Amino acid sequence: MSTSSPLTRMIVSRLAIGLFTLFIISILVFLAVSLLPGDIAQQILGQSATEETVAALRRDLGLDQPLVTRYFDWISGILTGDFGTSLANGRPISDLLAARLGNTMFLAAYAAVIAVPIAVLLGLLAALWRGTWFDRIANVATLSAISFPEFFIAYILMFWLSVQMGWFPSIADPGVDPGLGEMLSRAFLPALTLVLVVTAHMMRMTRAAVVNVLGAPYVAMARLKGASRWRIVTHHALPNTLAPIINVIALNIAWLITGVVIVEVVFVYPGLGQLMVDSVSNRDIPVVQACALIFAAVYILLNIIADVLAIATNPRLLHAR
């Protein structure tokens, strides 16, 4: 049997599980949004609207149909690429998602490019110098960063770097058709907030994985042969810790994309999270459902990628022990 066959079967299996999970999530999202209190048609038309007008709008929106019928109409439209129309402005939801998702992906990539190398390097150094003052300071700093909620870090950075220092704008909205420099400047504070949150987790996981491998017999043999500590970490320990490190990096990147709602709201960044919050406020139910489903799909996909990359770097994970 070829080496790629088990990996291929694993990928197909993960994709099947991911699609089934997304199907269950779509049901939960639709039910949760549909059971929200209040009448959407009444809110759109206002309290002065007559019952006949409200009933007519409910028919136009399909709200008079049974819940099961509405769900299958919604999900069948999504499968054909039609997310419906926004109730707030009448625009196709696909257009709203395309613009906002691009901004969220840019912010997540911006934060990841900064956070991943810093986290891995700090984790390696903390493992290399474990028990020293550097290790203790790194652990205290990362524990502090993990302990504070995102909005607290965001407001501290906004007060310090924007209000006090005036180095960066507090409002992250880059406007229409900005240049790359303007986007990088506007998105720096929300990206820095995300960096401080995810770097701590990735750094601690990297340190733990490397320290665990440093106790292996082959590492002790390399040490007896006179290899330097840095060579032991980079050439012997790190290659055998790639699977857990890749996994935690992929999961944190997934969080960067799906967990940016609070950060986008604080800095008024025009991403998918901000669109979702605005749509909840406006009772724009189709947009809320679409945003939630996009977030779920991205998170599931990145989890699958994390599993595949982890197993690709350590094929032994394919076989039961």
63 φ/ψ angles, rounded to the nearest 5 degrees: -75, -10
DSSP code of 216? S
Predicted pLDDT at 24: 92
Q: Identify which has the larger pLDDT, 42 or 210.
A: 210
Is residue 20 very low, low, confident or very high in pLDDT (cuts 50, 70, 90)? very high
Distance (Å, whole) CA 27 – CA 34 = 10
Q: What is the mean pLDDT of residues 295-310?
A: 83
Dihedral, CA of residue 188, residue 194, residue 195 and residue 197, to nearest 10: 150
Predicted pLDDT at 1: 42
CA 65 remoteness from chain centre:
35
Q: Is the pLDDT of residue 317 over 60?
A: no
Q: Give percent of the chain above pLDDT 70.
A: 87
Which residue bears the tokens 């990628």? 305
Predicted pLDDT at 42: 63
User: Which residues neighbour 178 within 8 Å (Cβ) at sequence distance 6 or greater?
Assistant: 186
Q: Is the pLDDT of residue 2 over 50?
A: no
Is residue 70 very low, low, confident or very high in pLDDT (cuts 50, 70, 90)? confident
| Mean pLDDT, rounded, of the chain | 79
Kindly report, residue by residue over 234-248, the tens digit of the pLDDT.
776 777 777 777 778
The whole-model pTM stands at 0.77
Which has the closest alpha carbon to 88: 298, 311, 283?
283
> 3-class DSSP state for residue 321?
coil
User: Which residues neighbour 60 within 8 Å (Cβ) at sequence distance 6 or greater?
Assistant: none
Predicted pLDDT at 188: 87
The answer to whether 271 and 104 are in contact (CB under 8 A) is yes
Kindly report, residue by residue over 113-165, the tens digit of the pLDDT.
998 888 888 888 887 787 788 888 888 887 777 777 777 888 888 888 888 77
The answer to whether 114 and 191 are in contact (CB under 8 A) is yes
Q: Is the pLDDT of residue 264 over 60?
A: yes
Distance (Å, whole) CA 299 – CA 9 = 21
Token couple for 77: 């439209």
Burial label for 223, CB within 10 Å (0-12, 13-18, 19+), is middle
Widest distance between CA atoms in the chain: 87
Distance (Å, whole) CA 309 – CA 314 = 9
Kindly report, residue by residue over 180-197, the tens digit of the pLDDT.
777 788 888 888 888 888
Predicted pLDDT at 47: 65
